Amino acid sequence: MNRRSFVLASAAAATTLPMHAAADNPVRVGVVGTGGRGTGLIRIASKIPGVAFPALCDINAQNLARAQDLVMSAGGAKPEGYTGEEDYRRLAARDDLDAVIIAAPWHWHTPMAVASMKAGKYTAIEVPAALTIDECRQLVDTHEETGTPCMMLENWSFRRDNLAVLTMIRAGLLGEINHCHCAHSHDCTYWYFDKEGNPRWSGEYLIKRNADQYPTHSLGPVLSWMDWNCGDYPAYLTATATRSISVPNYFRKKYGKDSPQAKRVLKQGDIVTSVVKTIKGNTLVINNDMQSPRPYDNRWEISGTEGVYNEQRNAVYIAGVSPKQDTWEPFEPYQHKYDHAWYKQLERDAPQAIRSQEGHGAPDFLELLLFTNAVRTKGPTPIDIYDSVLMCAPIHLSEQSIANGSAPVPFPDFTRGKWKTRKPHFGVVS
């Protein structure tokens, strides 16, 4: 058998996971933040057997009522509603909740997660979990003090293609990994500003901050691909930002050059490029490009001593395996042969989740399924607190580097040295 035949015959072993709940062992979840993303998570989690929603919280009464109706339309009892700004603390303190999901605006994520962990509730936070290094430390310290699991809901870690690539890397197809590129490229002007061109809460960050403000979708699969926190760790980051011209140009065309919208000054550059060097000597390039007029693109590419995977081309090249030298071959056969055990299980037990277009499709369903399974079994969450904060750290570090002329900024060690001996854990099934 030649190497190509051997490689394509080696698929990830299917592993039985508790994909369905026992009727007598429900997971009782409270949700804080029932806007668009919060209701989307409720809608998806409602399809997981044994998940109930005793309580919901949102300062917007209309959003709260809509979410309560959604739970009831899915066959659940009407959740108790909380609408006060500090009511998330009251919700977290309830003794009939096992877990809390947080989908509020960004600046609430860390304080809400800290309150939830202190109340002893498994906690899931929408991205980003933290905005500053201090918030990252607050999350880690609270987790270590309370022993309460906490994960960030970084759904791109759970994409089918990304998990297949992870399986390929762990099977040795790409050899020893030394470099990666990733990006979050997506025209989000509509998300930052309303129809009249006024900044939403998210738009305020563009006015006040110049950073890679959304690195987690880029980094989601990369941490496990590169074994960050498990044998390697980022040493330092440098970041550079372009001018801020895309949003003003958009508003000039829409409202006129003399309009208040076109004259608004943004601190945020259009495109931020960060470069990370790891302690082992590997490199990573991260692009944030969320204001340019462009199609969605993650630009993942991971390379090693034996080959390379490129998401944009949907292709791989494996030395000694790919049939033509210096020629890409389709990723699809590798996707099929190295399909992760989680997706094999979904195909068998919940095929509708694979086809669903709700939220972000199967990755959203899978991450919520695995989170609620962890709650039910009192086991570890698929993404732990250390991986969660490491994905968020480039927000603050890139801001510091840009402000200091692209100077290198060191990564804090949130694991306190444990990264040296921690074993790979994300996506490891048995």
Element (H, E) at 70: helix 61-73
| Cβ atoms of 302 and 309 closer than 8 Å | yes
pLDDT the model gives residue 356: 80
Q: Encode pLDDT of 132-166 as tens digits.
A: 999 999 999 999 999 999 999 999 999 999 999 99
Contacts of 351 (CB under 8 A, 6+ apart): none
Q: What is the full DSSP assignment across 188-250?
A: -HHHHB-TTS-B-TTHHHHHH--S----HHHHTTHHHHTTBTTTB-EEEEEEEE--S-HHHHH
Q: Encode pLDDT of 295-337 as tens digits.
A: 999 999 999 999 999 999 999 999 999 999 999 999 999 999 9
Q: Encode pLDDT of 327-381 as tens digits.
A: 999 999 999 999 999 999 999 988 888 778 777 779 999 999 999 999 999 999 9
- Say how many CA atoms lie within 13 Å of 222 toward its Cβ: 31
Residue 302's beta-bridge partner residues? 180, 309
Give how far the C-alpha of residue 282 lies from the chain's centroid of Cα atoms, to the nearest Å: 22
Give how far the C-alpha of residue 325 lies from the chain's centroid of Cα atoms, to the nearest Å: 35
pLDDT the model gives residue 361: 78
| Per-residue tokens: 244 | 């801020």
Structural domains in the chain plus CATH codes: 157-342+384-420 (3.30.360.10)
Residue 31's beta-bridge partner residues? 56, 101
pLDDT over threshold 80, residue 9: no
pTM, 2 dp? 0.94
pLDDT the model gives residue 89: 98
Local confidence band at 430 (pLDDT 50, 70, 90 cut-offs)? confident
pLDDT the model gives residue 350: 86
pLDDT the model gives residue 13: 34
Q: Encode pLDDT of 395-413 as tens digits.
A: 999 999 999 999 999 999 9
Q: Encode pLDDT of 242-299 as tens digits.
A: 999 999 999 999 999 999 999 999 999 999 999 999 999 999 999 999 999 999 999 9
pLDDT the model gives residue 351: 85
Element (H, E) at 277: strand 271-278
Three-class secondary structure of residue 80 per DSSP: strand
| Cβ atoms of 155 and 45 closer than 8 Å | no
Q: Encode pLDDT of 72-118 as tens digits.
A: 999 999 999 999 999 999 999 999 999 999 999 999 999 999 999 99
CA–CA distance, 382 with 129 (Å, rounded to integer): 15
Looking up tokens 């690195």, which residue turns up? 215
Q: What is the full DSSP assignment across 123-162?
A: EEEPSPS-SSHHHHHHHHHHHHHH---EEE--GGGG-HHH
pLDDT the model gives residue 359: 72
pLDDT the model gives residue 123: 99
pLDDT over threshold 50, residue 3: no
pLDDT the model gives residue 23: 53
Q: What is the full DSSP assignment across 20-35?
A: S--TTS-EEEEEE--S
pLDDT the model gives residue 24: 67
pLDDT the model gives residue 275: 99
Residue 125's beta-bridge partner residues? 102, 152
| Cβ atoms of 100 and 29 closer than 8 Å | yes
Q: Encode pLDDT of 20-36 as tens digits.
A: 555 568 999 999 999 99
